[in-house]
A and B are shown apart, each in its own frame.
Chain A
Amino acid sequence: GQSLEQPSEVTAVEGAIVQINCTYQTSGFYGLSWYQQHDGGAPTFLSYNGLDGLEETGRFSSFLSRSDSYGYLLLQELQMKDSASYFCAVRDRRDDKIIFGKGTRLHILP
């Protein structure tokens, strides 16, 4: 089957670092994407990993390990505005279907 698993909620302190994990069960996919969605807002693209390893974009980094069926989004120097839901997503190679995880709600404490 095709599924992406993420923790439902994560809490961290302002200024700290937080990691949001995404594990997947699909036989093959093109790459792992991450989207951010604030309450009542539109999902916005954050990062993409086509190859194994780390991709860095400012305070956000994303990592992929195909052998471990695992990826994560790393947020550094957390700010209150980072409070949002974060979704991992893939496009399955077998049927080209786009699959989103259920999302991780990030709570940031002052």
Chain B
Amino acid sequence: AQTVTQSQPEMSVQEAETVTLSCTYDTSESNYYLFWYKQPPSRQMILVIRQEAYKQQNATENRFSVNFQKAAKSFSLKISDSQLGDTAMYFCAFVGRQGAQKLVFGQGTRLTINP
């Protein structure tokens, strides 16, 4: 079974700083998707970025980028020029491309951006 681990329960940085959230996963599959979701206090789940395992190039979305290390099974999220609106819970997630498409989540990292 696939597992996703986020080892940082909480993080806090100053506005405009860069912050990196860690995520590791375990799977025997060779092709899969990885995601970062953001959950602000409103409870809404918002897709931040996704990475396809067969693509070697790291995904980027504006201030958000990932460092995907397939061999190490690591998928970290970097937020550049952090903003107050980035304050939220962040979840790393995995889904394989074979069989039942069960999305597996990590435990989450609570990120606080301080003014």
Binding between chains A and B: no
Q: Which residues of B contact A (CB under 8 A)?
A: none
Residues of A near any B CB (own CB < 8 A): none
